[in-house]
Amino acid sequence: MIYATEDTFDDLIQHPIVVVDFFADWCGPCHMLTPTLNRLAKSMNDVRFIQVDTEIYTMLSESTDVKSLPTLCLYHNGVEVDRILGYVSDYEFSTRINALKEKNHV
């Protein structure tokens, strides 16, 4: 898992498939999602997984229009193509990522 800052975010999302987890330490559902993210990051080597702490990088959260937590944003070559609000199961999350990979032949 890569931790993004306001200085590194734009460069980090320039990859074929990127998942960005916007989280906060106080967010219970964010903590519930962490094991799923870690499992998928280990099994999907062709996907870049990034985390953004919304309490520290508030300007980044605002510029990406994150209004609730957790928010998962899926990017394809730097462009947001999907957004998931709240906690999701391993199955639903991996299905959304795989659909994006198939659509873009990654």
Active site residues: 27, 30
Distance CA 17, CA 31 (A): 23
Three-state secondary-structure class, residue 35:
helix
Distance CA 30, CA 21 (A): 9
Question: Under a CB-based contact definition with an 8 Å cutoff, are residues 12 and 18 in contact?
Answer: yes
Q: Where are the beta strands (DSSP E) in 1-106?
A: 2-3, 18-23, 48-53, 71-76, 79-85
